[in-house]
Amino acid sequence: MPYDPLLAERLRQALKTIYGVKENFKFGGPSFSINDTVFIRAHHDGNIMQRCKKERTDELLKLSGVKPLAMKGKAVQGWLIVDSELIRTDEDLNFWIEVAMYSIEEAKPTTKRKRKSQ
């Protein structure tokens, strides 16, 4: 399931005036970071994958259309998948961008893992 290029462009436009935001291709789609810390990306089917502060996770998960990011069957702390229905307008998208950006301070930079030598 590829990312939605129209959503990627909406994210680019919304983030272009924010100092320090860089775009990279990580996790299978365009990802946006500040200080090497990914905070939001265009995900599959028009959804976004994004960070959130740990103390807001439970509150945000109560919203219909928000679910935790799961990897290998386990929820990833501080990450959400937000359904495309919740980001239809620019105002809606900006709300979720703010949620993601406020989480950066508690996040660690996203770096490539070093492969073990064989």
Q: What is the pLDDT of residues 79-97, one digit of tens each?
A: 999 999 999 999 999 999 9
**Quick count: other Cβ atoms within 10 Å of Cβ 3?**
22
Domains and CATH numbers, the chain: 5-106 (3.90.1150.30)
pLDDT at 116: 61
pLDDT at 112: 57
Label residue 6 by pLDDT band (50, 70, 90): very high
User: Does position 1 have pLDDT exceeding 70, yes or no?
Assistant: no
Helix (H) or strand (E) holding 93: helix 90-101
CB crowding 20-41: b at 16 or more within 10 Å, else e: ebeeeeeeebbbbbbeebbbbb
pLDDT digits (tens, 9 = 90+) for 34-82: 988 899 999 888 999 999 998 898 999 999 999 998 888 888 788 999 9
